[in-house]
Amino acid sequence: LSLHDALPIFGAEPWECAVVEDSLYSAKTAKNAGFRIIGINDECHSPEDRAKLREISDMYIYDYNGLVGELNP
């Protein structure tokens, strides 16, 4: 099930959703489709890819605890 296929199930538009992603390619694809991006650090990716991911992300976190902190201030 693709992200776009899931949208009607939830009655949502891409800009109303966020994709949590550690892969630069996947994040770019989702961003180009109109989704908000929450980039998450993953040391297995190159420093260059992690820097590019930070640039295109609407929010960047270093672990999932960072996301929980944002959702529950």
The pLDDT of residue 73 is 58
Q: Distance (Å, rounded) from C-alpha 49 to C-alpha 68?
A: 24
The pLDDT of residue 64 is 83
The pLDDT of residue 28 is 97
Q: Tens digit of pLDDT for each residue in 17-70? A: 999 999 999 999 999 999 999 999 999 999 999 999 999 999 999 988 877 777
Note the pTM of the prediction, 2 decimals.
0.84
pLDDT band of residue 9 (cuts 50, 70, 90) is very high
Are residues 28 and 19 in contact, defined by beta-carbon separation less than 8 angstroms? no
The pLDDT of residue 47 is 96
